[in-house]
Structure formats: C-alpha cells, structure tokens
Amino acid sequence: MVVDDISVVYRTKNKTEGRTNARTSVLKNLRGLRRGESTVRTTALSKISFVANQGDSIGIIGRNGSGKSTLMKVLAGLIIPDTGTVYASSNPILLGVNAALISSISGAQNIRLGCLAMGMSHAEIDAKFDDIVEMSGLEHEIFHPMNSYSSGMGARLRFAIAAAVDPEILLIDEALNTGDAQFKDRSKARMEKVTAQAGTVFVVSHSLGTITGMCNRAIWIDKGDFIMDGTPDEVAKEYRNFIWRMNEGNADYGRQIRAELMASLPEMRTTLLPNGWKRSR
C-alpha cells in the first residue's frame, strides 16, 4: 500500500453565541455564508506519505485527536481525502470497536451477517464458524444477543469476524485494547498469519505495549502531522519522552522534540510505475 500526500480537512459549522430565536439564527448564518464565516476548518491529516510493504505489521500511535482513526478510514476508503491518493493491491478490511453490528440479534447471527457482507459464501462461513467463535472467546455467549455483551466482548467478536476472510490488508482500530491475555495471544497469532501470507496489518492502539509486542514498525502522528516512522521500540521511546515533557509542563521542549523529529524525516519522492502504482522513495 502507498499513501501519497494525504490531507483531510473537516469542516464544521460555527456555533451561534448566546441565546437566539430561529429567525435570528438563520439571518446570522446567511450573513456568515456571505462573509465565508459559516464553517470552521480543522486539519485532521496534513500531507501524510509512506509505503506499507507486504509482511509489515504497522502500529499507529499518537495523542487523542491526532488523526489516527481518520487515517484508518482513509486507508479503508471510507473517507475521501482532500488531497493525495491511496494505492492498494486489494480492498483493506477495517476492524473498529464501533464497527456496526446488529445489537438485537445474537453473536452467531452477526457472524453470518458480517461474513456475508465481506463476500464469503454460506459454505465458507459454515467452514469457519467454529474458528471464529474460538477466536472471539465467546463459546458460551455466542447465541446471546449482542446487546448483552460488554464492549470487550463485542470488540473480540468484531476482530474474529474481520480476520476470518484472510484479508491481504487488515486495519485494526483500537479493538486490541480490550480483552484478556489469551485473546491478545490469539489476535497476535492471527496478525502474524496475515503478514506471513504477504499481507499487511495496521494497528491503532493507545497501548504502547501492544504496538511494541505485535508490530515490526510504528508510525507516530500528532495533530495530523507525520512525526516519526521507525521500529516500535524507537518510536515508543521518543513518544514517551514527548508525552513526559508535555505532562511536566515543558511544552516548549515537547514542541522542540516534535519539530526535530519531523525535520529528520527523509524527503518523500513519488515515481509512477508501469503497473499504475505509485511508490514513495
């Protein structure tokens, strides 16, 4: 997968200050439109470029609001970036804690529904059903309705469903932050199987232990900016140093660390290859 100069800008409406009636609010909005003041622009991602190679397991880290989930949605094709392009050899499968399943039906029914939505046949679902249940760890609850599950149980089931289709590119957004040690061992083994089959895995997690334990590479994003790309241990070390400085009130030094790391990133150049892929060098 190649991510080439991706930028995403969210546009939100300005909130009207004070209490106003509907007529006043409409008039203010119309005036704002004429002045170009009706929306607030927030940059979620700014000129993000990198290459994800086959066999990579890439952890995405960063503070809340840094654009990690936005990046995953761009990679999955759920958000069209304002600038830039994503090139992929196959359709990425996004697994997120908030991925939609029907809460009123059972986990077993959701397995069938989710697998059908991802293009599996009934025969393929039947063949993999027991493995999906085992992966989720919900043997005793699989026939209970989803709305009786804890958030961790739901996350485990989503992972098991998404990982059942042998995806070439798997995107995991926060789902590994929940679950016991046994589930983490199973999910790590599943990720290793995907990458061993020349696939690529992306993992968003607030747990640096998850990133260093499951990934061979890490990318740090902060406030939409690409800060660092390296081994998980290297990136985690710099990230911890940055967070420690910021928490100690030394924001200037924290910003200096951030600026120096961004300045040290290699220049990215793109070359269009005969097969239509763009590769950053």
Chain centroid to Cα 75, Å, comes to: 8
Of all residues in the chain, the percent with pLDDT exceeding 70 is: 79
Token reading at 180: 């016991």
What's the pLDDT tens digit per position in 201-239?
Answer: 898 888 888 889 889 999 999 999 999 999 999 999 999
The rounded distance, in Å, linking the Cα atoms of 74 and 45 is 10
User: The tokens 């590994």 sit on which residue?
Assistant: 176
- Reported as a pLDDT band with limits 50, 70 and 90, residue 97 is very low
Q: Do residues 116 and 195 touch, judged by C-beta distance below 8 A?
A: no
Q: What are the percentages of helix, strand and coil residues in the chain, rounded to 5?
A: 45, 25, 30
264: closest CA among 230, 222, 239? 230
Kindly report the pTM of this predicted structure: 0.72
Burial state string for 181-199 with b = 16 or more CB within 10 A and e = fewer than 16: eebbebbbebbeebbeeeb
Q: Just give the CATH number of 2-31+38-92+167-272.
A: 3.40.50.300
CA torsion angle for 22, 26, 28, 34 (degrees, to 10)?
180
* Residue spans per domain, the chain: 2-31+38-92+167-272
Q: What is the pLDDT of residue 110?
A: 92
| Positive/negative CA dihedral, 24, 25, 31, 34 | negative
**Among 155, 113, 103, 111, CA closest to 130:** 111
Q: How far apart are CA 248 and CA 105, in angstroms?
A: 48
pLDDT reported for residue 19: 52
